[in-house]
Structure 1
Amino acid sequence: MTTVESTDLATAWQQWHDEREQMLTEPHGWLSITALHWLDEHPAQYPDLPGTWRVRDADTVEITAAAADAVDVPGHGALDGTATIAPVDGAPGVMVTVGGLVVEIARRTDGYALRVRDPQAVTLTEFSGVPAFPVQERWVVDGTFTAYPQARRITVDAVVEGLQHFPTAVGEVTFDVDGAAQTLVALAGKESGLSLHFRDATSGETTYGGGRILRTADPADDGRVTLDLNRTVNLPCAFIEHATCPLPPAGNTLAVAVEAGERSPLRPDLG
């Protein structure tokens, strides 16, 4: 029997899911990335990109291009000569427009990379949606957040060997799945709330092996927090080859199968 509560849950989830897919299909979003080039101190040229690109020093990247190259750099405008920019580790990169392309210049650990974003990327033009498990009320669970005395910067590996990420761990969230207690390290959300990055028994089977993320609202003053596991999502590295996503914090692997949220997506770039 379908209840009003389950109908409302499914309706709200569908609206959220539609908005997420719309975000994924932005012309220069994650699905448009076609290449990842790592820079060094030597000026270099790259396929489909005019000018030269290099690491200038420990904190900046240098771009050299002529006016005819149509390279537009934030803070500089249309480039005719040389410009330097300073991407921040762990933050979104600086977006440089090159004709119809957008080149993201990102800093990751001690390296700098160019991510080329092309609206004609096959991963974008042939995107057919994100598969997901059926929405179920059983996957909306109550949790308890226990804050650490002080937030701590932790180190996690990345899907790219040799890279690391440094998220902020703010506490732990405990909750039950089918009567079994579970605990996850909670990371600070981008603007508010918590981010739970985890693997479970579905990882590498029906869901992406590098883990998925569930974002929550801010916990209540007494630590109560609602986990709607139906809204567990893939990271960009599940969809494309050229991402540098973090892996879950040590210990954030659940023995249970969380058959909720997004499943492994189809990859048109893999045939």
Structure 2
Amino acid sequence: MSDEGQQGPAEDAVQEWKTWHARRTESVAAPYGPLALRGTHWLQDHPEGLVPAIPGRWSTASDGTGVVLGATADNGLTLDGRPFTGEVVLTADPGGPDTARIARGDRRFVVLVREGLWAVRDFDPASDARTRFRGIDATPYAARWSVPGRFTPYSGDRRTVRVENADGRSRGLGLDGELAFSLDGREHTLQAGVEADGSLWAVFADTTSGKAPEAGGSHRFRFLRPGPPDAEGRVTVDFNRAQLPPCAFADHFLCPFPPPGNALPVAVAAGERNLLGR
């Protein structure tokens, strides 16, 4: 049988990365992707219930378990797709902004809670950031950045550490174990969490973090999302798929900074690095 037209493992990996990068760019640029976020407004900062540029009156419920929204016909709000007036108690939206219960035209207002504090987010497909978006600067695939790793869960319960977030506030970050791997003959570890589907998630920095793009720099920190480890804890650690955090696309996300120990002493010249044009 002829091998003509068949690809080897290296070519397959390159093509898979190109597909991943194209899908990432598409998802970021989607109408309700991260570029559409205009603001995250904490209700405790607006005790009179008037949130800048968002119609209606928004306040934390007296028992702290939700958000009370009051609206008049002039506000032009809809609830579950139908015109809404009066008052309703809302809980945190479980899905993405495209499924948020409250809307006004194409805008979606997402209710969220963090550590007992409630907020409303304003997603607008006509945001300036989405209009200006030119793409993601990502380094082409290189096999050296995809290495075997091993995940070791912590003994006992999940650990929570306090880390600064992109909005300047400190919040708890849940961590479930240690991800060990080797790059260029040197051993490294990252503290990682486990997602609902079993995949891993780590926030990391490296020696390129925060440096100017023209100097080979990348965003001040990035996310790494390896797949679920096998029964022995083995997992592929692929920095070719390092991702920019949501706060790289809009300033109003609450992205956590890397926890202690997650600043790698190497230059990870791989994966998503910066937004094009920035």
Q: Same fold (TM over 0.5)?
A: yes
Regions of 4+ moved over 4 Å: 90-94
Question: Does 2:63 match 1:83?
Answer: no
Question: Does 2:262 match 1:230?
Answer: no
1:159-191 deviations in Å (ceiling 9; x for gaps): 122341332x22111111111100111211242
Out of 238, 241, 245, which is 2:251 matched to?
241
Aligned partners of 1:7, 1:39: CA distance in 2, in Å? Answer: 51
The 10-residue stretch of structure 1 (155-164 or 20-29) with the greater mean CA deviation from structure 2? 155-164
Alpha carbon RMSD of aligned pairs, Å? 2.3
Question: Does 2:127 match 1:121?
Answer: yes
Aligned partners of 1:131, 1:190: CA distance in 2, in Å? Answer: 29
Instruction: Report what 1:17 is aligned to.
Output: 21
Q: Would the aligned equivalents of 1:144 and 1:225 in 2 still touch at CA under 8 Å? A: yes
SS of the residue corresponding to residue 225 of structure 1 reads strand
The 10-residue stretch of structure 1 (229-238 or 53-62) with the greater mean CA deviation from structure 2? 53-62
Aligned AA for 1:225? V
Any unmatched runs of 5+ in structure 1? none
The 10-residue stretch of structure 1 (175-184 or 57-66) with the greater mean CA deviation from structure 2? 57-66
Aligned AA for 1:126? R
Task: Assess, with a 3 A threshold, how the Cα gap between structure 1 residues 87 and 153 changes in structure 2: closer, same or farther.
Answer: farther
Aligned AA for 1:199? A
Task: Assess, with a 3 A threshold, how the Cα gap between structure 1 residues 250 and 9 changes in structure 2: closer, same or farther.
Answer: same
Aligned partners of 1:105, 1:165: CA distance in 2, in Å? Answer: 20
Q: Would the aligned equivalents of 1:156 and 1:246 in 2 still touch at CA under 8 Å? A: no
Aligned partners of 1:23, 1:267: CA distance in 2, in Å? Answer: 19
Question: Does 2:258 match 1:251?
Answer: no
Out of 62, 66, 70, which is 1:60 matched to?
66
What is the CA-CA distance between 1:60 and the residue it aligns to? 1.5
Aligned partners of 2:95, 2:185: CA distance in 1, in Å? Answer: 38
What is the CA-CA distance between 1:145 and the residue it aligns to? 1.5
SS of the residue corresponding to residue 154 of structure 1 reads strand
Aligned partners of 2:247, 2:53: CA distance in 1, in Å? Answer: 23
The 10-residue stretch of structure 1 (198-207 or 142-151) with the greater mean CA deviation from structure 2? 142-151
Aligned partners of 1:144, 1:12: CA distance in 2, in Å? Answer: 23
Aligned partners of 1:267, 1:204: CA distance in 2, in Å? Answer: 16
Q: TM-score, normalised by structure 1?
A: 0.88
Any unmatched runs of 5+ in structure 2? 1-6, 212-216
Task: Assess, with a 3 A threshold, how the Cα gap between structure 1 residues 162 and 110 changes in structure 2: closer, same or farther.
Answer: farther
Aligned partners of 2:117, 2:162: CA distance in 1, in Å? Answer: 16
Instruction: Report what 1:153 is aligned to.
Output: 159
Q: Would the aligned equivalents of 1:208 and 1:264 in 2 still touch at CA under 8 Å? A: yes
Instruction: Report what 1:132 is aligned to.
Output: 138
